[in-house]
Structure 1
Amino acid sequence: MTANPQAPGHNDYVPGYAHIKHHEWRTAENSAGYLIPVVQSKVEENAAIKLLDVGAGPGTITVSLAKYMPEGQLIATDLSDAVLEKAAVFAEQAGVKNIEFQAADIYALPFPDNTFDIVHAHQVLTHLDAPVAALKEMLRVAKPGGVIATRESDLRMWNFHPQVPGVVRFHETMLATHAAGGGATDAGVRLVSWAMKAGAKRESITASMGTWCYSTPGERRVWGGTMAERARNGEFRKKALQVGIATDDEFEFMAKGWDEWIATEDACLGCMHGEILVRK
């Protein structure tokens, strides 16, 4: 097992899996709200629907989706066995029994054509060097009449107060490092284009935008704390140092900036995401 597994022939996951506490904050309600009505509609047609969650990470979105389809079957995949093990524990603790966890490569999903009613990915395509190929694979495993759903950040669209210099520098460094690692900083606004290149017809695609907001003390600790950890240690820091985007001293400056932001009572941060539903 590697600390930062990657799909053969493709770029690795630049942030790494060590500091993903903010991923555990995510639920269907705060991160896949655009998909919930689709799940409910599909369940009305057939209670035993099948949903594939690609790149599910710690499984918090998968588990919260499961409550909308109690008679359905969910499969959650990721490249990291360690993360999937944690996700399985989370599901067990939540009393959710209709999720199967399986290591899988998004570019070569180990499922037959036309298998799933819904294929979902959250903040996955933004990290990939070949997002169109990934979408083609998601379309392949969806049933005719099925839905492909993905929500991806526009990483340029971080809005935060106050403008702490260390946080400003972190954002600049994150954008440059993400691009250097092969990801797309503007994935959210490119989803329609990528889906069309993957073979979807424009009239089959519904686009929308969603947001996150981190403002309460607990929310600030989740987001700012994770970013401070990434500045002090981890794959993101290693990548930026390797390609000369930032120095050790700058990273300590960034980490202290996040510490300051977390402690600021009126601090607030928002992120913008693009969302698409593709009907096959």
Structure 2
Amino acid sequence: MAQTSQPQRNTYFPGHQDVKHHQLRTAENCAAYLLPALKEKAASSPNLTLLDVGAGPGTITASLAKYMPNGHVTATDISDKVLQSAAAHAEQVGVNNITFQTGSVYSLPFPDDSFDVVHVHQVLCYLDSPVDAVKELLRVAKPTGSVIGICETDMRSWSFWPLLPALQRFHQIQMETHEANGGTNVAGPQLISWALKAGVRREQVRMTQGSWCYSERAEKEVWGASWASRARTGEVGKKALSMGLATKDELEEMAKAWEAWAVAEDGCFALLNGEILIQR
């Protein structure tokens, strides 16, 4: 059964004001590992149900929904404002089989055994108790025949060019402040471990590794602006100042370095993500 009370948990560290790059995400570039199983289930059970946890701006949610036109998607996030943006995006792209509901991954507002498919993208890496979150995902997934897809980053894997010292320093500060807020920089490699600790049998889990690579001017401008904002006025910069990791002048140098990276002809950025499918 769902827990009626929860201990105090850490917050979503970056804040929702510095996540414009999330709008670049789609099922195709962020959940390709899940799509074969989703297509198969949609073909055999057209009325299947899918839960997208931590849906953010809803770009992944809406593209997942298109693979199950006769099914129904429920999208959750901890922010009402973000879910309003997700609903507006779904309407804009003509997707009408999604319900939006505020909820925490630690205490999802749904009965046991509710969903055929559960999807989570870049949520567990921010949590101080990811195993508890996985247990909650398992609770709301149907005990037989369900699929749970989880994708989380390995923040150590950042790879970028030009190799500007200010960007290297920002990467280090990003990792230090992330862990100081209770998250982990090595979520991707731990996904099997977290699933096993949550009670999943090893034969039920299959892991892959995915990657992102951004080198086109338009997408770099989005990423560069988001990272510059995090350095100047976002939670990363504020945390770095409070921890004595950087001065305001140093953070401004990092922000300018991201802006320079965004317009550099030879600029690129890549990282690795761990992906698991839990099939019950």
TM-score bucket (shorter structure)? over 0.9
Q: Which shows bigger deviation, 131-140 or 220-229? A: 220-229
SS in 2 for 1:149: strand
Task: Kindly state the Cα deviation for residue 236 of structure 1 after the two structures are TM-superposed.
Answer: 2.1
Structure 2 regions of 5+ residues with no counterpart? 1-5
Q: What whole-Å deviation, never above 9, does each CA across 1:122-177 have from its counterpart, x for those lacking one?
A: 00000000000000000010012201111000000001111011111110100000
More deviation in 262-271 or 70-79?
262-271
How far apart are residue 239 of structure 1 and its match? 2.0
Q: Does 1:48 align with 2:47?
A: yes
1: distance between equivalents of 2:243 and 2:43?
A: 51
Query: Counterparts of 1:78 and 1:15 in 2: how far apart (Å)?
Result: 15
Alignment partner, residue 157 of structure 2: 157
Moved more, 116-125 or 258-267: 258-267
TM-superposed CA distance for 1:39, in Å, is: 0.7
Rounded Cα–Cα distance in structure 2 between residues aligned with 1:105 and 1:243: 28
Distance 1:215 1:189 in 2: 25
Cα distance in 1 for residues equivalent to 2:240 and 2:115 = 38
Report which stretch shifted further, 213-222 or 129-138: 213-222
Matched residues in 2 for 1:256 and 1:236: separation? 15
Q: Which residue of 2 aligns with 1:3?
A: none
**Which residue of structure 2 lines up, in the alignment, with residue 198 of structure 1?**
198
One-letter identity of the residue aligned with 1:229? S
The runs of at least 4 aligned residues of structure 1 exceeding 4 Å deviation read none
Is the counterpart of residue 232 in structure 1 residue 266 in structure 2? no
What are structure 1's unaligned runs of at least 5 residues?
A: 1-6
In the aligned structure 1, how far is the partner of 2:278 from the partner of 2:160?
32
| Offset of residue 20 of structure 1 | 0.7
With normalisation by structure 2, the TM-score equals 0.96
Query: Take 1:80 and 1:125, find their aligned partners in 2: how far apart are those partners?
Result: 16
Q: Superposed, which structure 2 residues align to 1:68-217 within 5 Å?
A: 68-143=67-142, 144-217=144-217
The aligned counterpart of 2:64 is 65
Corresponding residue for residue 33 of structure 1 = 32
Percent identical residues: 54
The TM-score, its normalising length taken from structure 1, stands at 0.96
Instruction: Return the letter of the residue paired with 1:239.
Output: K
Name the Cα RMSD after superposition. Answer: 1.0
Say whether the 8 Å CA contact 1:119–1:142 is kept in structure 2.
yes
238-247 or 24-33: bigger deviation: 238-247
Give, as a single letter, the amino acid of the residue that structure 1 aligns with 2:62: V
| Structure 2 residue identity aligned to 1:173 | I
Are the aligned partners of 1:54 and 1:77 in contact in 2 as well (CA < 8 Å)? yes
Tell me, what secondary structure is at the counterpart of 2:106? helix
Provide the C-alpha distance between the structure 2 equivalents of 1:224 and 1:211, rounded to a whole number of angstroms: 18
Aligned counterparts of 2:177 and 2:246: Cα–Cα separation in 1: 9
Deviation at 1:28, TM superposition (A): 0.3
Letter of the structure 2 residue corresponding to residue 83 of structure 1:
V
Asked if the contact 1:14/1:239 (under 8 Å) is kept, the reply is: no
1:4 aligned partner: none
1:70 is aligned with what amino acid?
P
**1:7-26 residue pairs with structure 2 within 5 A?**
9-26=8-25
What are the superposed Cα offsets for residues 155-202 of structure 1, whole Å, 9 maximum, x if unpaired? 000011110111111101000000001001000000000000000011
